Amino acid sequence: MTSESERVAAVRRYELLDTPAEAPFDRITRLAKLIFDVPIVYLSLIDGQRQWMKSVRGMKEVELRREHSLCNHTIRQTFPMVIPDLRADSRFAANPLVTGAPYLRFYAGAPLRTADGHSIGTLCCLDTKVRSITGQNAEILNDLARIVVDEMDLRLLATVDSLTGAMTRRAFSDALNRSLALAKRHDQELGCVMIDVDNFKLVNDRYGHPVGDLVLQRLVAICKTTLRASDFVGRLGGEEFAVVLPLTSASAAMTAAERLRKGIATEPTFVPFMAPRITASFGVAAYDADVMDPAQLLKRADLALYAAKANGRNQCVCFTESLAAQAA
């Protein structure tokens, strides 16, 4: 039995909430509507306070308060929930969707269960008439729900670096684009930190690539436990990583980078038999009116990182215009 906080974290891990309609999910709801011959089908995710429809057919609503969600009961079990007559069930008889438009009567929903046991949403079929489905059809609905989760997992694999758990370069780039656009639109601050493991080639040469892989894994683990939930880390290649910190000034980003630097340099179980300990260098930059695009923000952080490594490594350097002048 997983906790509610773990379940909600699993929902958000897929980063599908509030995203546009997409053909792979729309195909599944269209197929379910044809198979079960019902007027309403939706594929939904259930967050902490709401039910949000990723794909919906036959209903205008794309979001419901969780206390009004019929599917809130479905996610508590591991098999499809079928209610032939919602009015005859005390759990749903007073539900606004039953007593008012669209006056639902029949419900069949299968939980979207992840491989680690979290029910993050549902695939469900609804009708305004009392009806039932066979056990075989319930299994078909369950199979379609599994296909939905498989599609979601494939997307997750494409956005997560298999070794470290950080975002892939492409996924990080997409997320940075969105974050920078948001910062520009609302005149918000945005920090960026580039990270490079010091002397990483020596680690691989001396201890072997399996140990080098462990170093990268531990570095990302420290980033995730040290940073806020709203921050995100991506692997840009090899031993180079980048972190984006929304709503963060340059000075606050420097403070966050210094916490990461100390956490890496002092991690007692980083690689116990290694000497000296692993360290990393950090380049910090922040969005301002002169930053035109994500590439420019990353370039500023990269210039600061170069300065950190040139000045002796294991330190944090913040971008300044003088660094740009020296590079030019």
Domain parsing of the chain, residue ranges: 4-157, 169-327
Kindly report whether the global pTM for this prediction surpasses the value 0.95. no
* The predicted structure's pLDDT at residue 16: 86
- Quote the pLDDT of residue 272: 61
Looking at the predicted structure, is the pLDDT value of residue 263 above 80?
A: yes
238 within 8 A of 250, measured Cβ to Cβ: no
Residue 270: is its pLDDT beyond 80? no
Count CB neighbours of 262 within 10 A. Answer: 14
Please pick, among 6, 15, 189, 239, the residue that the annotation labels catalytic.
239
Over residues 47-54, the mean pLDDT reads 92
Cα–Cα distances in angstroms (integers) from residue 300 to residues 194, 293, 309, 324, in the given order: 9, 11, 15, 8
Residue-wise pLDDT tens digits, 22-48: 889 999 999 999 999 999 999 999 998
**What's the rounded Cα separation, in Å, for the pair 191 and 228?**
13
Residue 315: partners with Cβ closer than 8 Å, 6 or more residues away: 261, 281, 282, 308
* For the chain, the helix, strand and coil percentages under 3-state DSSP, each to the nearest 5: 45, 20, 35
Q: Confirm whether 239 is a catalytic residue.
A: yes
Query: Of how many residues is the chain composed?
Result: 328
Q: At 8, which helix (H) or strand (E)?
A: helix 4-13
| pLDDT band for position 2 (cuts 50, 70, 90) | low
* CATH code at 4-157: 3.30.450.40
Residue 147 binned pLDDT confidence (cut-offs 50, 70, 90)? very high
> Which homologous superfamily does the CATH classification assign to the domain defined by 169-327?
Reverse transcriptase/Diguanylate cyclase domain (3.30.70.270)
CB 41 within 8 A of CB 32: yes
pLDDT at 1 over 80: no
The mean per-residue pLDDT over the stretch 203-219 comes to 89
What's phi and psi for 313, nearest 5 deg? 70, 175
How far apart are the C-alpha atoms of 246 and 192, rounded to whole Å? 9
Reported confidence tier of residue 310, pLDDT bands at 50, 70, 90: very high
What local confidence, expressed as pLDDT, does residue 61 receive?
81
Q: What pLDDT score does 127 carry?
A: 97
Pairing type for strands 316-318 and 280-286 reads: parallel
| Separation CA 155–CA 158 (nearest Å) | 5
Q: What distance in Å separates the CA atoms of residue 193 and residue 245, rounded to the nearest whole number?
A: 8
The mean per-residue pLDDT over the stretch 76-101 comes to: 94
CA distance 301 to 321: 12
Pick the residue with more confidence: 204 or 140?
A: 140
How much is the average pLDDT of 283-309?
Answer: 93
